[in-house]
Amino acid sequence: MCGIVGFAGKVPAAPILLDGLKKLEYRGYDSAGVCVYHAGSLQVAKKQGELKNLLAVTDNGATLPGNIGIGHTRWATHGAPSDENAHPHLSQDGKIAVVHNGIIENYLALKEMLLAQGVTFRSETDTEVVCNLIAMYYARSGNFLWSVQMTREVIVGSYALVILCADEPDTIIAMKQDSPLIFGQGEGCNFVASDVPAILKYTREVVYLNDGDLVVMTADSVRFLNRQSATVEKKTEHIAWDITAAEKGGYEHFMLKEIFEQPSAFAKTISPHIQDGKVVLDGVSFEERYLKNLSRIYVVACGSAYYVGCVGKYVLEKLCRVPVEPMLASEFHYCDPLCDENTLVLVISQSGETADTKLALLEAKRRGARTLAIVNVVGSAISKEADDVIYTWAGPEIAVATTKAYSTQLAIVYLLGLYMARLRETITDGEYDELLAAIQALPGQIAALLTEEKIQEIQDFAKKFHQAEDVYFIGRNVDNATCLEGSLKLKEIAYIHSEAYAAGELKHGPISLIVPGTLVVAVATHPDLFDKTMSNVKETTSRGADVLAVTTDAFADEIGKTAGQWVLIPETLPLLQPSLSVVPLQLFSYYVSLERGCSIDKPRNLAKSVTVE
C-alpha cells in the first residue's frame, strides 16, 4: 500500500526521496508527494497519478532544494486519489508536515475538535487531522517531540508517521503502530522508510522498529524512544540481499522475472531445512508430545497465501492425519474459532505485514493456540508476533501478483508436513524418503517448464484466448486448490472475470454459465482422479466450452481425446503436483495480461502489502 521515505543529510534530499519513492512504486499507489525544508519553510510538491507527474513538476527534485525531507506514495483510503489528498500534508500554520501509512480510526472526532478551534482543512484525509493535531500541541508548547508524543496519546488506529517541523529543520520524528517502518543508518545521513528497497541504494544497516517505537533523527544522530518515552538501544540488522534483486534485470516485468526465479527461490528455501536426508526446522520448537496431541490445524492467510493453505489442507491432512482447516484471515478473527493449546494456527504471509493476517494471528494467540508463521520478509510484524517462524527465501517480491512467494510457501508446507508426519508417526520411512527426494527434484522440474518452447506454447494460448470475458477453472483435490490460484492470477492482472470450481461441483449450478465459446481451464494431474475430471470436462465441451487442460506427461496420449488444447507438465507425486501445475497458469495470466495491455506489475486498485483491515 502506501510507501514512505524520510531523509536527513548534507546533500539535497528531494532526488534521494524521489529515488526512494520510485523503489516503492511496486507497493501500489495513486499519488505521490515530497516535502523538503528550505530557507525557513516547509516546501511541498504532490501530484495525483504516477510518480513521473511529480518528477515533472519538481524537475526531478531540482525545484526543491534542502537537505532534509519526507516523501510518500499514497494508496487512497480516506478521500479519492487527488493532489489535495496526496501526502505530505502541511498544517494550517505551515509549521508541521506529515506523511502517514495506515488509518486513524478516531479522526472524525479529532477533526471536529480542530474545526471548532478554527482549523480549516484542504483534504478529506485522516492524515491532515494528525498533522494539525501535532501543530495544535506545538503552538501551545513550542516542543516538537512533546507535541508528537501528545498526539500519539490521542490518536487511535494504525500508523507509520514521519514528521517535519519548520522550527526544528534538522530533525525528523517518526513513530509506528501496526504499520511497517524501518530506520536506516547512512554515512553522514539517516533514513526512515516503510520498506528496505527505498533506501538500500544508500545503506544496508537497518533497524526494524516495533509498535510503540518513536525515532528522533538528524543527519548525524538517532535516538529511539519506547512507548513510555524511555531511550532504548536497538539492534542494527545488515541487509544481505542486493538491490539488483529488486530490479527488473532485463525482464519486461517484475512478474516475469519472479516467475523465472522460482526454481532458485524454491531451492534456496528448502536447502537449509534438509540435512542428512531429514527435514530440520530450526525455526520451530515443537515437542513430540505437542505434535502427538495436536487436534486441529488452521491455516490462516489472505489471497494467494490462503490458496497455499488450500493446498496445505490436502498435504497436511494426508501426511499428518490431523484435521486441517484453511481460513481466510479476515474471517478467522470474527468466527469464534475453536482454539486451544492443542490447536496449531499456521499463518502464511509474503509481506508479513498483512493487517487481516496479523490480527488473526493475535486472536489465535489470545485464544491459547500455538502459532507458526511462514513469512518472506525478515523482521516483519507477523514474524515478530508468531511463536515460531519459518522463512521463505524468495528474496524481495516486487510484482503485486505473487509467484515466487507462493511457490516457496508451498515448499515450506511440504517440508512441514513431512517433519510433523515423522514425529507423529503417520508416515513410513519409505514414503518419507520418496517425498523428500521428490521435493528436492521440484526446482529442476519447475525449470523444465520455463523453456523457450513451453513459453511459446503458452504465449500462443494467451493470444488465442485473451479476449475471453469469463473463464472457469476446474480441478479436483490439489488441482482444485491450484485452480483457485490460477483464477486469482487472471482476475488480478488481466482483469478477466474468472472462477475456480471443484470439477465435480460444476453440475450443481455453475454449469448453467457455460455457453458456446466459454473458456474452461481444466487442471487434471491427479492420476486417481484424471478420468473423473475428464468426465466433468466433457460436460462442458458438450455445451460448447473451449477447454485448455493442464495435465502431466503421463496423460499425453489421453488428454487430446477430451480437451481441445493442453499443456503438458512433468510428473511428480500427486501431493506435490501444485508446484508444477501453477507455473503454466501464472504464465498464461501473464501473457493474457500482456495481450490486453494491462498494468502487469501494478494492477489497478491493488497494493502489494495490504496493511488495512
Q: Which of 386, 610, 611, 612 binds ligand AGP (CB under 6 A)?
A: 610
Instruction: In angstroms, give the least distance from the CB of 380 to ligand AGP.
Output: 9
**Cα(467)–Cα(446) distance, rounded to whole angstroms?**
28
Which residue is it, cell 536527513? 8
**Residue 589 binding ligand AGP, by CB under 6 A:** no
**Positive or negative: CA dihedral 146, 148, 149, 154:** positive
**Cα(15)–Cα(20) distance, rounded to whole angstroms?**
9
Instruction: In angstroms, give the least distance from the CB of 584 to ligand AGP.
Output: 16
**Residue 305 binding ligand AGP, by CB under 6 A:** yes
Choose the stretch contacting ligand AGP; rule: CB under 6 A; options: 264-272, 399-407, 531-539, 563-571: 399-407
Task: List the catalytic residue out of 2, 165, 189, 339.
Answer: 2
**Residue 73 binding ligand AGP, by CB under 6 A:** no
Instruction: In angstroms, give the least distance from the CB of 320 to ligand AGP.
Output: 23
Instruction: In angstroms, give the least distance from the CB of 329 to ligand AGP.
Output: 8
Instruction: In angstroms, give the least distance from the CB of 435 to ligand AGP.
Output: 25
514: exposed, middle or buried (C-beta count within 10 Å: 0-12, 13-18, 19+)?
buried
CB closer to ligand AGP out of 360 and 549: 360
**Cα(121)–Cα(128) distance, rounded to whole angstroms?**
7
CB closer to ligand AGP out of 114 and 610: 610
**Residue 330 binding ligand AGP, by CB under 6 A:** no
603: which 3 cell numbers?
Answer: 494492477
Has 608 been annotated as catalytic? yes
Cα-flanking dihedrals φ and ψ of residue 71, to 5°? -140, 160
**Residue 492 binding ligand AGP, by CB under 6 A:** yes
**Cα(258)–Cα(253) distance, rounded to whole angstroms?**
9
**Residue 4 binding ligand AGP, by CB under 6 A:** no
Choose the stretch contacting ligand AGP; rule: CB under 6 A; options: 25-33, 348-356, 452-460, 519-527: 348-356
Number of neighbouring beta carbons within 10 Å of residue 591 = 22
Choose the stretch contacting ligand AGP; rule: CB under 6 A; options: 268-276, 299-307, 388-396, 509-517: 299-307
**Residue 402 binding ligand AGP, by CB under 6 A:** yes
CB closer to ligand AGP out of 34 and 198: 198
**Residue 401 binding ligand AGP, by CB under 6 A:** yes
**Cα(290)–Cα(403) distance, rounded to whole angstroms?**
33
Task: List the catalytic residue out of 22, 313, 602, 608.
Answer: 608
Q: Determine how β-strand 343-349 pairs with β-strand 370-375.
A: parallel
Instruction: In angstroms, give the least distance from the CB of 609 to ligand AGP.
Output: 6
- Residue-by-residue DSSP string for 390-433: EE-------SSS-SHHHHHHHHHHHHHHHHHHHHHT-S-HHHHH
Residue 178 · residue 380 · CB < 8 Å: no
CB closer to ligand AGP out of 9 and 352: 352
Which three-class secondary structure state does DSSP give residue 449?
coil
Beta bridge partners of 46: 33
**Residue 408 binding ligand AGP, by CB under 6 A:** no
**Cα(421)–Cα(427) distance, rounded to whole angstroms?**
6
Site for ligand AGP in 352-391 (CB under 6 A): 354, 357
**Cα(16)–Cα(200) distance, rounded to whole angstroms?**
11
CB closer to ligand AGP out of 399 and 549: 399
Instruction: In angstroms, give the least distance from the CB of 305 to ligand AGP.
Output: 4
CB closer to ligand AGP out of 357 and 525: 357
| Residue with nearest beta carbon to ligand AGP | 303
**Residue 611 binding ligand AGP, by CB under 6 A:** no
Q: Which of 350, 477, 572, 581 binds ligand AGP (CB under 6 A)?
A: 350
**Positive or negative: CA dihedral 349, 352, 355, 361:** positive
Choose the stretch contacting ligand AGP; rule: CB under 6 A; options: 320-328, 396-404, 495-503, 535-543: 396-404
Instruction: In angstroms, give the least distance from the CB of 468 to ligand AGP.
Output: 20
345: which 3 cell numbers?
Answer: 494456527
Q: Which of 374, 400, 529, 537 binds ligand AGP (CB under 6 A)?
A: 400
**Residue 31 binding ligand AGP, by CB under 6 A:** no
**Cα(363)–Cα(18) distance, rounded to whole angstroms?**
38
Beta strands in 307-393 (DSSP E): 324-328, 343-349, 370-375, 388-391
Which three-class secondary structure state does DSSP give residue 85?
coil
334: exposed, middle or buried (C-beta count within 10 Å: 0-12, 13-18, 19+)?
exposed
Has 2 been annotated as catalytic? yes
**Residue 407 binding ligand AGP, by CB under 6 A:** no
**Cα(330)–Cα(151) distance, rounded to whole angstroms?**
29
Catalytic residue annotation:
2, 608
Residues that bind ligand AGP (CB under 6 A): 302-305, 349-351, 354, 357, 400-402, 492, 609-610
